[in-house]
Amino acid sequence: MIVGGLRFVSDKLGAARLPSRRSPAGALVVAVAIDGKFAGFLFLADKLRPGTENLLNGLRSLGIQRIVLATGDRDDVTRFITSGLSLDLVRSELTPDQKVLVVLSERKNGPVMMVGDGVNDAPALAAADVGVAMGARGTAASAEAADVVLVVDRLDRILPAIKIAHRSRYIALESVFVGIGASVMAMIAASFGLLAPVQGALLQELIDVVVIFNALRALRN
């Protein structure tokens, strides 16, 4: 059995040309030969994930100003799949190292988050400020290179993941500022003799407990 592109299979069979067949929009045509004879065509097509446009709108509502698609797919397939999507830039037919260059070039616009699932995405995931791998069907290489691994194969999980990260960061900074601020105020009070050493020690323990309980709020989704 021989499976491959039209020219490849034609050369293997020694045929001048294969039967003409127009492929559906956005599909890749693969020729199949069995026992040295042409058998037929296979049409390989990507399907846009449901809710992709809602995802893009949700990302922009979270403050993400620039969304770029970097893919190794053919240009005609990419244009068909992305038709009507609100993307700022589409780059197709990219090799893994070219995806890395896209990530590095986008840093001039701010921190870069890269989402991918294939082994070809691993270098770009490692180069991004935040790499997010789709862990359910993705490769081990992409999961190891990423900073965050989504254990479900659903793009819409990116939105709650970003919200959780924002909330956790806010609570962490809040705890730091409250803890340091309260401790500094206690030290100033102690320096003026308003707090005895034992009172200062007990107050510091109370501040620590308050900060710990405040930080535990991050456990709630």
Structural domain that includes position 21: 2-45
Structure confidence at residue 193 (pLDDT): 86
- Whether residue 151 sits in one domain with residue 89: yes
Backbone angles phi, psi at 148, to 5 degrees: -130, 135
- Whether residue 36 sits in one domain with residue 56: no
User: What confidence category does residue 26 fall into, taking pLDDT thresholds of 50, 70 and 90?
Assistant: low
- Whether residue 144 sits in one domain with residue 97: yes
Average pLDDT, the chain: 86
Question: For residue 121, with 0-12 CB atoms within 10 Å meaning exposed, 13-18 middle and 19 or more buried, which class applies?
Answer: buried
- Whether residue 64 sits in one domain with residue 39: no
Structure confidence at residue 123 (pLDDT): 93
Among 135, 156, 177, the domain boundary falls at 156
CA distances from 15 to 12, 20, 129, 183 (A): 8, 13, 51, 83
Rg (CA), the chain: 27
Tokens of residue 3, six digits: 């499976």
For the chain, what's the residue count?
Answer: 221
Element (H, E) at 37: strand 37-45
For the chain, where are the alpha helices, taking DSSP H only?
6-13, 52-61, 75-81, 96-106, 122-127, 140-145, 158-191, 197-215
What CATH number is associated with residue 120?
A: 3.40.50.1000
Domains held by the chain: number:
3
- Whether residue 173 sits in one domain with residue 100: no
- Whether residue 147 sits in one domain with residue 98: yes
DSSP 56: H
For residues 111 and 12, the model is more confident at 111
- Whether residue 74 sits in one domain with residue 41: no
- Whether residue 116 sits in one domain with residue 197: no
Cβ–Cβ < 8 Å for 100, 115: no
How many angstroms from the chain centroid is the CA of residue 211? 32
Res 180 pLDDT > 70? yes
Segment 15-40 shows an average pLDDT of 76
Identify the weakest region by mean pLDDT among 110-114, 161-165, 203-207. Answer: 161-165
- Whether residue 85 sits in one domain with residue 7: no
- Whether residue 33 sits in one domain with residue 63: no
Among 110, 137, 156, the domain boundary falls at 156
Structure confidence at residue 1 (pLDDT): 84
- Whether residue 81 sits in one domain with residue 104: yes
Among 137, 156, 175, the domain boundary falls at 156
Segment 187-212 shows an average pLDDT of 91
Angle among Cα 176, 160, 58 to the nearest 5 degrees reads 115
Tokens of residue 196, six digits: 């005895």
Cβ–Cβ < 8 Å for 147, 131: yes
Instruction: Give percent of the chain with pLDDT exceeding 70.
Output: 93
pTM higher than the cut 0.85? no
Backbone angles phi, psi at 174, to 5 degrees: -60, -45
Other Cβ atoms closer than 10 A to 143:
19
Give the largest Cα separation in the chain, rounded. Answer: 99
Cβ–Cβ < 8 Å for 161, 148: yes
Give per-residue pLDDT as tens, 88-141: 999 999 999 999 999 999 999 999 999 988 888 999 999 999 999 886 665 677
- Whether residue 94 sits in one domain with residue 130: yes
